[in-house]
Chain A
Amino acid sequence: MERLGNGPKAGIEAGRLTAADYEANFADLHPRLDRHEALVESDRCYFCYDAPCMTACPTSIDIPLFIRQIQTGNPLGSAKTIFDQNILGGMCARVCPTETLCEQACVRNTAEDKPVEIGKLQRYSTDIAMEQGRQFYSRKAPTGKTIAVVGAGPAGLAAAHRLAMHGHSVVVLEAREKAGGLNEYGIATYKAVDDFAAREVDYVTAIGGIEIRNGQALGRDFSLSDLTAQYDAVFLGMGLAGVNGLGIEGEALTGVEDAVDFIAALRQAKDKSVLPIGRRVVVLGGGMTAIDAAIQSKLLGAEEVTICYRRGKENMNASPYEQDLATANGVIIRHWLAPKSIIGKDGTVAGIEVEYTAIRDGRLIGTGETGVIAADQIFKAIGQTFSASGLGALQFEKGKIVVDAEGRTSIEGVWAGGDCIGTGEDLTVSAVAQGRDAAESIAKALAAAAQPATAVA
């Protein structure tokens, strides 16, 4: 493409932008509302009866109440209302796809197509409480019980906090170097700036009684039966550590990467200018990971970023808001295209051959028509899978842990929640709800076991 003259460098290169560009590109997506903005917005809430927004929130935060507390000048009371249901309310305020959760249900959507900005208000009060280091909970008298939590992601942290509140001791076993799970390694950079994930972990564990042991992987360093033998109960919140492969020719070429690895590296890099990015990037997939990888590729200075998704717009897991955010950042989203093979040149990626798809008789098929998209880098974002070993007889269905309504697995004394369970929704907020509820179930079970059995007539 000589006609572009001194255009961007071909291939995968770091330092495509100026320092100022990097800073602007990875700044806070939605800066916190100031007091005036929060008051104006909170005034819009109708304080609904049996509020639909609250029903739509997976953690059932009392939204009308916390908004009214902002409006009456009580942001700390508001933060407590939020944390009562969701101790990771700060992160959820930043990452929840509110447009498909609480804000979609808000009656002001029906009224004037403009919901109350619940997410932004939630961030307003939780930020104030966290900045002031306000802790609202203290531990009950120690029970002498210790519970093992595997995975320090949203599910594990929510479970640990709730268990600590009940007076239990908690040991969190985390495979990675840092706690936080995908909050630390997955969420888009511009949604959780200023090391928020790490600060939140500190805020949650400040209640006491929670010990996080990093570099401890289930299946490598210990097995599930070790844990059941050693601890009074176990909570599994390992998320989905594996990734799906494409199974097509050229997958091993240099320049073909898992989107989650790319994002994890991005999240950990203090200086974004050291991160190499292709001039032309293709992202395969249709979920939040695909969108985040695509947008952040663009923000790192890629000239052309294309998402290829094998189904239609309406099938994409990423919400319309996320899709719009991508296109607003210059990402091209192409639907009904499936990867066929990756084309290489000298061992590195040169492009991708795609096949058009369609639905025939309710099934997705390739139409036979193909095309090539030039690319120096390809990110795979076609789903994560459960990957862990040492789980003994633990029961799975469709590759995920089977649990009942309270989060109990098939093994007595073992609970699970978050992305690793069958009912996981790949949402931070759902992982929090499941961790919290499993903790309540564990506390109840331990309390019942501690009582001498009495006949109830």
Chain B
Amino acid sequence: MADIRNNFVGIKSPNPFWLASAPPTDKAYNVERAFKAGWGGVVWKTLGEEGPPVVNVNGPRYGAIWGADRRLLGLNNIELITDRDLYTNLREMKEVKKNWPDRAIVASIMVPCEEQAWKAILPLVEETEVDGIELNFGCPHGMSERGMGSAVGQVPEYIEMVVRWCKQYTRMPVITKLTPNITDIRHPARAAKRGGTDAVSLINTISSIVSVDLDTFSPNPSVGGKGSHGGYCGPAVKPIALNMVAEIARDPETYGLPISGIGGITTWRDAAEFLALGAGNVQVCTAAMTYGFKIVQEMITGLSDWMDEKGHRSLDDVICRAVPNVTDWQYLNLNYIAKAHIDQDACIKCGRCHIACEDTSHQAITSMVDGVRHFEVMEEECVGCNLCVNVCPVENCITMEALPAGELDKRTGKVVDPTYANWTQHPNNPMARQAAE
């Protein structure tokens, strides 16, 4: 059996699946239920300063987009940090940690960008004996209007400053949670590292308007006829999150910095992909909010069964395995040639590949052969773009087949070159570097 125990910056948990700081981790009741269901750890819903707690809207706070059969693909929220009293949260955190010593509990914190504010809250959190803290520099709505959340996360200098304070005033491991609402995720990650963070976690939610009510012309969720941008999460954001995790994992300046991967993780597969791209563990919010805590059982068994099948003994065998394969476009091998191939036995003849290629690609798929409805790739036209594979409703019906070296590419009339050659060396590139001879 694969060993899926997790050690993330010294915080141990029986598996790498944590619940992200959000409604599922807002109080002892939820967290106890999550631990009973099998979650390895939680990042408690973000705590604010001592004093009267924040207030949430009293109307709808979520919006969504759906795929076929109303499967939830993207969720959007305008919820703020915890609206419960700080001391209630701290008391519950302490109690739950005592009851569940083998699970990870991390406190998420968001207080004003002042040294005194951080200095005041850190000892209170430390006293609960939870395992670490996560700095919420992510919320793109509400709190950011008050100079917190993503308003901090968008300024690398602030990140560095706050992280430094935290490292100074607590012995607890510090995880810095990044906002994706920036142009280049490497800058805030580098800043966090300079400040001495133990890890980064990402992504928080993406600024979004999820839909507009066409009867009232109000954005959704509509609070009395008005809407405000919210934070977007769920399966739809996974590709964005994966890229950001990979960017940090392969950046020479942050190389080796532990990453907690977040964003759209719904199945064990999603989690494994985050681990492979450099995440040391993962955090989940929307999937739990959609299906309940039980989904972790699918994640645990799926990950460990896959690891068994592939012979990966521990998470370290998986973590970062895909990172060396992430490169810049300019280094992709232009001599690699692939062609689409349709498995005629699997094809159900819907014609989507044909019309996609015909209308929007390279006119490389037949629709009729000898008067019979028939879909087949014309290799002399196919550029191997993969569009047909993506639109075909039958999995593995169309596959991309690499042309072996020495074979003729019927489209260009050239023989496939076995050597590697990229854009930096290409004759059409005015900036081409001459191969050193």
Contact = CB atoms under 8 A, between A and B. Distances in A.
A48 B351 contact: yes
Contacts of A48: 350-352
Given A48-B350, A49-B355, A43 B68 contact: yes
A110 interface: yes
B184 to A, nearest CB: 37
Given A46-B393, A111-B393, A111-B394, A52 B349 contact: yes
Interface string B58-79: 0000000000111000000000
A1 interface: no
A40 B349 CA distance: 22
Contact of A111 (B348, B352, B373): B348
Interface in A39-61: 39-40, 43-44, 46-52
Given A39-B70, A49-B355, A110 B393 contact: no
B367 interface: yes
B132 to A, nearest CB: 44
Nearest to A50: B351
A139 interface: no
B141 interface: no
Nearest to A48: B350
Contacts of A107: 348-350
A32 interface: no
B350 A46 contact: yes
A48 B350 CA distance: 5
B69 A49 contact: no
Contact of A110 (B69, B70, B349, B367): B349
B211 to A, nearest CB: 13
A193 to B, nearest CB: 30
Given A39-B70, A40-B69, A110-B349, A50 B393 contact: no
B354 interface: yes
Given A111-B393, A111-B394, A49 B70 contact: no
A176 interface: no
Contacts of B70: 39-40
Contact of A108 (B348, B367, B373): B348
B68 A52 contact: no
Contact of A49 (B348, B354, B393, B394): B354
Interface in A9-61: 39-40, 43-44, 46-52
A305 B394 CA distance: 45
B118 to A, nearest CB: 50
Contacts of B373: 50, 52
A39 B69 CA distance: 8
Contacts of B394: 111
Contacts of A49: 350-352, 354-355, 367
Question: Which of B349, B350, B367, B393 neighbours the largest number of chain A CB atoms within 10 Å of its CB?
Answer: B350
A44 B69 CA distance: 8
Interface in B114-172: none
A51 B367 CA distance: 11
Nearest to B68: A43
Contacts of A111: 348, 393-394
B350 to A, nearest CB: 4
Contact of B348 (A43, A50, A110): A110
B48 to A, nearest CB: 41
A52 B70 CA distance: 27
Given A49-B351, A52-B349, 10 more contacts: A40-B70, A43-B68, A44-B68, A49-B352, A49-B355, A52-B373, A107-B350, A110-B348, A110-B349, A111-B348
Interface of B: 68-70, 348-352, 354-355, 367, 373, 393-394
30 contacts: A39-B70, A40-B69, A43-B68, A43-B69, A44-B68, A46-B350, A46-B352, A46-B393, A47-B352, A48-B350, A48-B351, A48-B352, A49-B350, A49-B351, A49-B354, A49-B355, A49-B367, A50-B351, A50-B367, A50-B373, A52-B349, A52-B373, A107-B348, A107-B349, A107-B350, A110-B348, A110-B349, A111-B348, A111-B393, A111-B394
